[in-house]
Amino acid sequence: MISAKATEAHLWIGGEWRPAADGAMFDVIDPATGQVTARVANAGEKDVSIAVAIAEEAFADRRWLSIPPLERGRILRRIAELIRQHHYELAQLMTRENGMPMNQALFIEIPLAADCFDFFASLVVQPQGDVLPFSVAGSAPDYVAWTVKEPIGVAGLITPWNFPLLMPTWKIAPALAAGCTMVLKPAPETPLTALKLAEICHEAGVPEGVVNVLPGLDEAGKALVRHPGVPKIAFTGETETGRHILQAAAPHIKRVTLELGGKSPNIIFADADLEQAAKSALFGVFYNSGQVCQAGSRILVEQPIYEEFVVKLADRAKKLKVGPGTDARSDLGPVISREQYDKVLRYIDIGKQEGAKLVAGGSALDGLGGGYFIEPTVFADVSPSMCIAREEIFGPVAAVIPFQDEEEAVRIANDTIYGLAAAVWTNDIKRALRLAQRVKSGTVWINTYQVLSPTAPFGGYKQSGLGRELGMQALEPYMETKTIICDINERPMTLF
């Protein structure tokens, strides 16, 4: 059983705990201390084969699909309720693994995860498929045709470390709603939360073998993508890893959805509510220590208010408290790992070398117990061509870029390989709607930032991904469409 104080965990396969086939383990590090907080079984290729075989058997014998739809919906709602009941324990686990302040886990991530299961529970009993108008040239007209939706089979789910509960939820909930079985490979930095979610699914009534969770390093993820028994892969993570997944999935023509990186523009015009825009920009770039794929890390500000805005943002950033997630006063926790810590600091150095003006932060905080803490950092006078304006840093670093007019704002916003999210701040509704159409991204917020709902599809344009998560569209990648055509003419059509 996974508790908030668990120091060891195994694989969850077929409704039971199992050690890795070769007995291998790996360390989970608390990013607030840099110390080992747990040892977890390290799944390898053999474990993937075992888990996929069990998931295939569970799909073939229809142990999940044979449950009436109303009851499957009730099971998903029970998962939501159990998440709410275990909210404090889940928050403790997330803070141990991820460093996220507990207040943010309790008031943002956990409620969103529960709401996600509630939403997809409602879709289990929604009509699926269509009755089609159908005729055959030169034939009598009496045909009936319709489509049905069928689950694709075993889904391979690979999730990142930045939201240890929400990212698995975004995949498990629609996969269950669609009728799939699955093997989840969570990020090695944050396996405990995913394993706790598997326990919750089991407690809620999901049959054995339907949800399997394999913590592990790279080998497990690669084996899952390659496995011929897994027709569907859903991945959230870095764009470069997404490219490798597409290549590995190609031989079996797997269905792949990818939610990848971003360098999202937050565009602020001179007529916007400056106070609210500054507050929201702060949240947009520094929430979860900037480790958010849709973080508004490029803040585009119209020239007449540029200097004033920079001062407001820098002053607010300097007042944010950085500390352990267990401290209720912490606004930002640590970044996830030593590797990420070094990467973010390297980008801060690059920003200085490129000539950007450092107006807040810019340093590591080494006096906080050995963890991976970095000051909220704001660069001003950033050119769109600088590395810090083009590459995803995935840390608490904001790049503030001036622009002259609407045309330049659109040009800068779209000058990127990414297209995950964007925001427009203005009191001119026509301008807001024009930019919402012209900015190439999967989500555009108007006079807000980083608000999400399970009812609204989420995903990216360009190299920010393929497909959508959340919303009704999230079911499609987990389902096949079958067309059924019935000839009800007295004399069926014949050619011979």
Q: Beta strands 298-302 and 265-268: pairing type?
A: parallel
3-state secondary structure string across 78-115: HHHHHHHHCHHHHHHHHHHHHCCCHHHHHHHHHHHHHH
477-488 exposure pattern, b = at least 16 Cβ within 10 A, e = fewer: bbbeeeeeeebe
Q: Beta strands 298-302 and 154-158: pairing type?
A: unpaired
Q: What is the spatial order of strands in the sheet that 232-236 belongs to?
A: 16-18, 11-13, 211-213, 181-185, 154-158, 232-236, 255-259, 465-466
Give catalytic status of residue 259 as yes or no: yes
56-93 exposure pattern, b = at least 16 Cβ within 10 A, e = fewer: bebbeeebbbebeeeebbbbbbbbbebbbebbeebbbb
d(CA 476, CA 356): 44
CA dihedral 152, 155, 159, 163 (to 10 degrees): 70
How many helices (H) and strands (E) would you count in the chain? 15, 21
Q: What is the spatial order of strands in the sheet that 35-41 belongs to?
A: 8-9, 35-41, 25-30
* 3-class state of residue 8 by DSSP: strand
The label of the residue with tokens 């508004």 reads: 296
d(CA 448, CA 425): 8
Instruction: Kindly give, in sequence order, each residue whose CB lies less than 8 Å from that of residue 138, ignoring residues fewer than 6 positions away.
Output: 493
Q: Phi/psi zone of residue 24: left (φ > 0), alpha (ψ -120 to 50 degrees), beta? A: beta
The one catalytic residue in 259, 392, 406, 469 is 259
Q: What is the spatial order of strands in the sheet that 479-487 belongs to?
A: 131-132, 143-151, 479-487
The label of the residue with tokens 């919402």 reads: 436
Catalytic residue ranges: 259
